[in-house]
Amino acid sequence: MSLSEKDLNLGDHIYVRRLVYSHHGIYAGDGNVIHYTGEEKEKKDPLIRETDIEAFLKGGKLRRRDYKKRLPPSETLSLAKKHLSDNSYSITLNNCEHFAAYCATGKRKSRQLREAVGGLVEIALYTMIPTHFLNPFLFFFIS
């Protein structure tokens, strides 16, 4: 099912997939989104700003992150607005997904960062540990 702006509620955590990452924000109503944005693919001098949804999507497909437990929409939107002009972006500690998750749940989390780090750890393990040590180790945990 395709999601459109009319399906959104105030305070929804929305995102759009880009080539190698997803960009996240909070729906503020009236066709606007609060999110980290900057110049050059949102990475140069990013600030939390309110922009129109077209600028947020940049032609991509609108998606919504649903939560089992989340803050009330009014509190989510209030938190997002409170952080307007914040310039403390960090790809590892405070990226757009951390911001949107924090506004929606009160907890700063980034699934894409966790998955990326997990993949890097897995690659490091496979390249650093000799195969003859790794195979019995994996057999023990798989069986």
Fold observed for domain 5-109: endopeptidase fold (from Nostoc punctiforme) (3.90.1720)
Write the DSSP symbol of residue 6.
G
pTM: 0.77
The answer on pLDDT for 11 being more than 60 is yes
Q: Among 35-49, 50-64, 86-100, whose mean pLDDT is lowest?
A: 35-49
- pLDDT score of 92: 79
Question: Per-residue pLDDT averaged across 128-138, rounded?
Answer: 50
Residues ≥6 apart with Cβ < 8 Å to 57: 16
The answer on pLDDT for 125 being more than 80 is no
Q: Say which residue the tokens 């997002």 belong to.
A: 80
Is the separation of the CB atoms in 35 and 43 below 8 Å?
no
Domain ranges of the chain: 5-109, 111-143
Instruction: Write phi, then psi, for 3 (nearest 5 degrees).
Output: -100, 135
Is the separation of the CB atoms in 101 and 13 below 8 Å?
yes
* Between 117 and 1, residue with greater pLDDT: 1
Is the separation of the CB atoms in 66 and 2 below 8 Å?
no
